[in-house]
């Protein structure tokens, strides 16, 4: 079994299982062939093996595409689809393409194209070749329609909207499922010529053959659809515009796409598309349909539960690698308890056989946790650089070493750059207000003020201003006053930061410096507790 797993990993073959009794692997002669196969190294080694029926199989270098429609911003579901395509291709030294499906002229907007491209680049999911715009391929679509018409794989349908509506009503009254009857499929040459001469409007339908469409989805397994359930669907509308299920097939054929990885909402389209592939004389690609991302209520993700544009997460200061990490965990399992990965690590571990059928539930707490782990794991220099990308002048007047220290103290308590900015405010400006809840709990009355005043006076005499000395001094004073160290620690934190929680008090005091600490304590002593 280990040999089999190694073979699968090396070749990029997914969802293959060894035959009963174990895999049968054979190297073909002559020896020159072996030398040729081995010379390319790990990523180019074409392993040849025989399955249980002794059928020669060779791995296919994947060519995948992410094909969004620019009718809105790139959301989390689309970003995850792009991510899985990217991971699948890069693990196997394949190609990852971006195709903009902008044939819906009324709804497609350039601003959405720009936003989608920007979001993908920000996430680090850069495509390998120039963008393919579906709208610029209209001639290819029409040529394919003509090919089917000439070969008898499609026909002109002159049925009017009114005719079809009447048939739908009749089916509904009879409590039957409506399907197009195919009445125009067998028009005589004379009638066809007559209608064309009269310039009767027509759409073009594909001639769905008898039989069944069968394919194996890498997530949902074997799919079988009887063609009796599929009517002769339209591939070109009366206005001359081709339909979605036709254009995507033509484009995928021309782009030599051999794997289609997309959301499960497209699963019902796949049988129709397989029919188009075969009608055009092309072998269908392999399919993998990804489970939907669900909200906490178990329904499709909505704006209320996180379905906002990827760019909004960028503007909120989330790290792109953290967002990718979280998206990868929605519907895919790494096969271990580990949950924090870089993009490089995800690429190495990703496989379609670990994609689950059950929809992943968007969990904001889990997202924040994953993002927090990435914040903690980044160097202060990297975080500063990233912060400066969002805000070029972020505390540019401060010493860089001071900024590094601030970031180091704060980053483990944050999930985003925005929080890092918010939580670090007191490092740069004296607090003008104090956490009311913390004050009520830790600075209840004048007795605390008396202790703080005593501590403030003693700090003037402290010769060594560093964390260890500061801690020893405070604890010694607490013993002298016969109180716990917490009686000093908590109020002091409130005084110098305005908050009830934060990094190590003594590290904070050392970094802020004597002057700032004494000034802030003096202000708090004069203003707390509130009257």
CB-based contacts of 32, cutoff 8 Å, min separation 6: none
CA–CA distance, 190 with 192 (Å, rounded to integer): 5
Other CB atoms within a 10 A radius of the CB of residue 422 amount to 12
Contact (CB, 8 A) for 488 and 454: no
CA–CA distance, 177 with 488 (Å, rounded to integer): 78
CA–CA distance, 49 with 301 (Å, rounded to integer): 43
Residue with tokens 């490092």: 427
For 142, phi then psi, to 5°, come to -65, -40
Q: β-pairing, 132-133 with 95-100?
A: parallel
Element (H, E) at 50: strand 49-50
For 342, phi then psi, to 5°, come to -85, 170
CA–CA distance, 305 with 303 (Å, rounded to integer): 5
Q: Which position among 109, 214, 303, 348 bears the catalytic label?
A: 303
CA–CA distance, 315 with 288 (Å, rounded to integer): 32
The reply to whether 366 belongs to the active site is no
Closest C-alpha to 279, from 244, 223, 240, 232: 232
CA–CA distance, 381 with 4 (Å, rounded to integer): 44
Query: Which amino acids are annotated catalytic?
Result: 303
């Amino acid at each position: 079994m280990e040999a089999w797993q190694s073979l699968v990993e090396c070749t990029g073959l997914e969802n293959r299982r060894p035959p009963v009794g174990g895999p049968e692997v054979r190297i073909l002669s002559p020896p020159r062939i072996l030398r040729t196969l081995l010379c390319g190294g790990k990523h180019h080694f074409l392993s040849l093996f025989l399955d249980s029926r002794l059928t020669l199989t060779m791995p296919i270098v994947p060519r995948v595409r992410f094909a969004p429609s620019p009718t809105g911003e790139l959301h989390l579901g689309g970003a995850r689809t792009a991510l899985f395509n990217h991971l699948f291709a890069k693990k196997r030294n394949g190609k990852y393409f971006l195709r903009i499906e902008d044939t819906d002229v009324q709804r497609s907007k350039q601003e959405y194209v720009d936003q989608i491209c920007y979001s993908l680049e920000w996430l680090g999911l850069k495509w390998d070749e120039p963008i393919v715009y579906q709208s610029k391929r209209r001639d290819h679509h029409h040529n394919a329609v003509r090919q089917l018409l000439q070969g008898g794989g499609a026909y002109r349908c002159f049925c009017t909207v009114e005719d079809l509506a009447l048939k739908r009503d009749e089916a509904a009254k009879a409590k039957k499922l409506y399907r197009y009857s195919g009445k125009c499929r067998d028009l005589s040459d004379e009638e066809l010529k007559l209608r064309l001469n009269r310039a009767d409007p027509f759409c073009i339908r594909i001639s769905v053959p008898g039989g069944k469409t069968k394919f194996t989805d890498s997530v949902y397994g074997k799919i079988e659809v009887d063609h009796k359930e599929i009517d002769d669907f339209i591939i070109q509308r009366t206005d001359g515009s081709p339909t979605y299920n036709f254009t995507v097939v033509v484009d995928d054929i021309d782009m030599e796409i051999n794997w289609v990885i997309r959301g499960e909402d497209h699963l019902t389209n796949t049988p129709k598309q397989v029919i188009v592939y075969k009608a055009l004389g092309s072998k269908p690609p392999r399919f993998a349909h990804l489970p939907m991302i669900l909200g906490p209520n178990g329904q499709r993700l909505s704006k209320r539960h996180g379905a906002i544009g990827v760019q909004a997460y960028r503007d909120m200061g989330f790290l792109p690698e953290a967002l990718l990490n979280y998206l990868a965990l929605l519907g895919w399992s790494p096969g271990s308890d580990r949950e924090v990965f870089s993009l490089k690590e995800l690429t190495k571990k990703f496989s379609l056989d670990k994609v689950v059928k059950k929809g992943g539930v968007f969990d904001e707490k889990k997202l924040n946790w994953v993002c927090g782990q990435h914040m903690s794991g980044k160097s202060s220099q990297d975080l500063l650089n990233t912060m400066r990308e969002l805000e070029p002048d972020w505390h540019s007047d401060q010493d860089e070493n001071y900024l590094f220290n601030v970031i180091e103290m704060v980053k483990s308590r944050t999930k985003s750059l925005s929080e890092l900015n918010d939580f670090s405010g007191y490092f740069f400006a004296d607090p003008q207000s104090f956490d009311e809840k913390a004050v009520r709990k830790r600075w209840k009355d004048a007795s605390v003020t008396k202790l703080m005043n005593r501590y403030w006076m003693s700090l003037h005499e402290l010769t060594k201003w560093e964390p260890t000395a500061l801690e020893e001094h405070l604890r010694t004073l607490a013993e002298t006053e016969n109180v716990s160290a917490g009686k000093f620690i908590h109020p002091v934190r409130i005084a110098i930061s305005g908050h009830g929680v934060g990094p190590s008090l003594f590290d904070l005091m050392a970094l802020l410096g004597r002057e700032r600490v004494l000034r802030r304590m003096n202000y708090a002593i004069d203003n707390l507790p509130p009257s």
